[in-house]
Structure 1
Amino acid sequence: MSSITNAPPPAVHYPDSDGQPMADNTLQFEWIVTLQGNIDLMFRDRADVFVAGDHLIYPVEGTADVRQAPDVYVAFGRPKGHRGSYKVFEEDHVFPQVIFEVWSPGNRFSQMEDKRDFYERYGAEEYYIVYPEFPAHIDGWQRKEEQFERIADVNGYTSPRLGIRFELQRGNIAVYHPDGRRFLSYVELGALQHETQVRAQAAEQNAEQERQRAEQERQKAERLAARLRELGIDPDTL
């Protein structure tokens, strides 16, 4: 009598890369880095907010073909830490709530429609497409029950989840932190940091010069007092 042993199903491999470039041009890349970096900075003290860029999301366990790699996404309720990919079924079934895609000339309209359908189907709450080239603008959708509803006008709109505000200024896109500071690129942040350091050094130098002048005045006063005592005069009575 023979027995039949059912072999376990083969393990599913979830690649950490889809082989696609991160960006098609430098402007798209700059916006991806700026969005990801500023949002990550906003939540630096929140251990339960994970922010990533150009990172594959796998929403369905056992199906490696169902995936997307948004330019930037934010997952609330998930711990920080490095990941090869974001597997929703290993992340307490939390699908990232906020998704950003940055348009480039290589994108096709049908491709963007498929992405939006994907994010809508698997649970994103907010979805934004940033168009950094002329005419610069942002399209946005917010979940209403089970479907995305297009945001009528993103200019001046504040993200419910992130608290950031989008504005169009003289044909350019500006994004603002909840405290009103504008999102800065890496170069702008570096320049601001350098300017702050220069000002701090100048203030330190001024303080040191003031200290030296005060010390010189003190020594001068002590010499004068010593000379008066030599002449038999009590300087404290003057």
Structure 2
Amino acid sequence: MAATVASTKATAQYRFGKYPDIFYDEPDREDRVLQFPPLYRVIGILFEMYKDSPDVFATGDGFIFYDESDGNRRVGPDFLIAFGVDAVYIRESEMPNYLVWEIGKVPDFVMEVASPSTWRNDLGHKRELYERLGVQEYWRFDHKDGEYYGQPLAGERLVDGVYQPYELSIEDDGSIKGYSELLDMVFCWDGHEFDVMDPETGMTLHRITIAEARAEAAEARIAEQEARAEAAEMRIVEQEARTEAAEARAEESEARERSLLEEIARLRQQQP
């Protein structure tokens, strides 16, 4: 994330009432712009995957405020994802920052992108803070092929409160891949750009394929619902047929019984 240059006053009116005024420093926007072009693709895919989810919130804007009593206790990741939250409320309220006490939990996933002014903080203070806050996965992307972080791609997961690195694989073509258990996807660096891959198929994810997958999933759900409805109708028809067959058998039995009684009565009348 970027260096700080100016102070801005922010107030919030959210679900539980008005919070005290919070003073915080705005990031250097030019520095952030320089960081993001190599990650536009990855960030765009992650955002596309979760943008409409009612219980997953993903954003690359604002800070994480983690202490309601002190507005200076905040950190600004380049991208974050939080699972199991009221994402609809967060979006509709246009919350400018991620307020942990308001949302109810810290993010589960954070990403940092290397820059000349931030890489030391990303490897030091931020890493320690994310670990202490309980962020489940911390990923770092260095588009200078490891010039800042020492490696172009690195991911860590929280194990018993301590970050443990994910094992990376180096392919025959020299590309580096790392699997995120939390997101169930593979991040890849091919020496020039970052990408996101499906771990099952090995195919590169695209925004359009994600949209198509969503549409296919929606169609599959509709087809499944229609199939269940047809099956239910079939069960009703079968039950009605069984009921009609039972009624027919009952009528036939009654008819045989009446015939038998009539025959008994006739035979009795013939007796001397």
TM over 0.5: yes
The structure that is strand-richer by fraction is 2
Residue in 2 aligned with 1:71? 78
Residue in 2 aligned with 1:100? 111
8 Å contact from structure 2 (residues 65, 98) kept in 1: yes
Please report how far the alpha carbon of residue 100 of structure 1 lies from its aligned counterpart in structure 2 after TM superposition: 0.1
Give the Cα–Cα distance (whole angstroms) in 1 for the partners of residues 167 and 119 of structure 2: 22
Query: SS in structure 1 opposite 2:67?
Result: coil
Matched, 1:131 2:142: yes
Residue in 2 aligned with 1:36? 43
TM-score (norm 1): 0.64
Residue in 1 aligned with 2:229? none
Residue in 2 aligned with 1:12? 20
Q: How many residues align?
A: 175
Give the Cα–Cα distance (whole angstroms) in 1 for the partners of residues 30 and 205 of structure 2: 20
Query: SS in structure 2 opposite 1:100?
Result: strand
User: Which runs of structure 2 are paired with 1:157-176 in the superposition (5 Å)?
Assistant: 157-176=178-197
Matched, 1:144 2:159: yes
8 Å contact from structure 2 (residues 42, 194) kept in 1: no
Matched, 1:182 2:204: yes
160-169 or 27-36, larger mean C-alpha shift: 27-36
Aligned CA distance change for structure 1 residues 53 and 44 (closer, same or farther; 3 Å): closer
144-153 or 133-142, larger mean C-alpha shift: 133-142
Query: SS in structure 1 opposite 2:189?
Result: strand
Please report how far the alpha carbon of residue 40 of structure 1 lies from its aligned counterpart in structure 2 after TM superposition: 1.7
8 Å contact from structure 2 (residues 56, 81) kept in 1: yes
Give the Cα–Cα distance (whole angstroms) in 2 for the partners of residues 61 and 49 of structure 1: 23
Give the Cα–Cα distance (whole angstroms) in 2 for the partners of residues 116 and 100 of structure 1: 11
Match 1:48 to one of 29, 45, 55: 55
Give the Cα–Cα distance (whole angstroms) in 2 for the partners of residues 124 and 134 of structure 1: 25
Please report how far the alpha carbon of residue 117 of structure 1 lies from its aligned counterpart in structure 2 after TM superposition: 0.8
TM-score (norm 2): 0.57
Residue in 2 aligned with 1:89? 101
Identity of aligned residues (%): 25
**Structure ID, larger Rg:** 2
